[in-house]
Structure 1
C-alpha cells in the first residue's frame, strides 16, 4: 500500500486542497515551491499511463481545476505540471507555482511550518 493510499484512507494526515469520489489534491510536504500540490487518483495505480482513459482524463480535468485555483492563491508566473512517478508507486501529478525554471527542479526545496501549510491550503481552497 502506497503512502498516498494511506493518505486517501485517512491513516496519514495531509493538507487537503480538494477531493471528490475519484481524486484528491493536497500540498506536498516537501515542496519545490510554496503551493506545490499533488493530485492523485484515489485508486492506487502505479503508473500514470496505466490509468484507463476515463480515469486519466478525469485526473487531468481535476488537476486543471486545482491549477487554476493555485495560480489565483499563490503569486507566480504560471503553474508547472510534472509527472515523474519514481518516488511513490501511485500515479500523481505535481502542480508547482513557477517564477523561474529552477522551481521545477526536484532539488530545490522550501521549508514551511504547519501553520503556513494550513493557511496556504485554506487560501487555495478558497480560490476553487
Structure 2
C-alpha cells in the first residue's frame, strides 16, 4: 500500500482540494510553489500510462477545474502539468502554478509552509472551485 492510498483512505491527513469516485486531489506538502497540487488515481497503479484509457481521459477532466481554481487564487502565468512518478510508485499528476519553466524544476528546494499557510491555500482553492 502506498502513502497515497493511505491518504485516500484517511490514514494520513491531507489538505484535500477535491475528490470523486476515481480521483483525489490535495496540496503537495513539499511544494515547489504555493498551490502545488497532486491529483492521484484512487486505483493504485504504479505507472501513469498503465492506467486504463478511460481513466486517463477522466483524469484530465477532473483536473481541469482544479487547475482553473488554482490559477484564480495563485498569481501565475499558467498551470503546468507534470507526471514524474519516481518518488511514489502510485500514478499521480502535479498541477503547478508557473511563471517560468524553472518553476517546475523538481531539483529545486521545496517550500516550507506552515499548517496555517496550507489551510489558507486549501480554503482559497476550494472556494474557487
TM-score higher than 0.5 here?
Answer: yes
Alignment of 1:7-46 (within 5 A): 7-46=7-46
Q: How many residues align?
A: 128
Q: Which residue of 1 aligns with 2:97?
A: 97
- Displaced runs of 4+ in structure 1, greater than 4 A? none
> d(CA) in 1 for partners of 2:66 and 2:118?
16
Work out whether residues 32 and 107 of structure 1, in 8 Å CA contact, stay in contact via their aligned partners in 2.
no
> d(CA) in 2 for partners of 1:60 and 1:2?
22
Q: Please state if 1:69 is matched with 2:73.
A: no
Q: Which residue of 2 aligns with 1:107?
A: 107
CA-CA distance at 1:77 after TM superposition: 0.7
TM-score by length of 1: 0.97
> d(CA) in 1 for partners of 2:79 and 2:33?
11
CA-CA distance at 1:102 after TM superposition: 1.4
Calculate the aligned-residue CA RMSD, in Å: 0.8
> d(CA) in 2 for partners of 1:107 and 1:120?
23
Q: Tell me, which stretches of 5 or more residues in structure 1 are unaligned?
A: none
Q: Which residue of 1 aligns with 2:50?
A: 50
Q: Tell me, which stretches of 5 or more residues in structure 2 are unaligned?
A: none
Q: Which residue of 2 aligns with 1:82?
A: 82
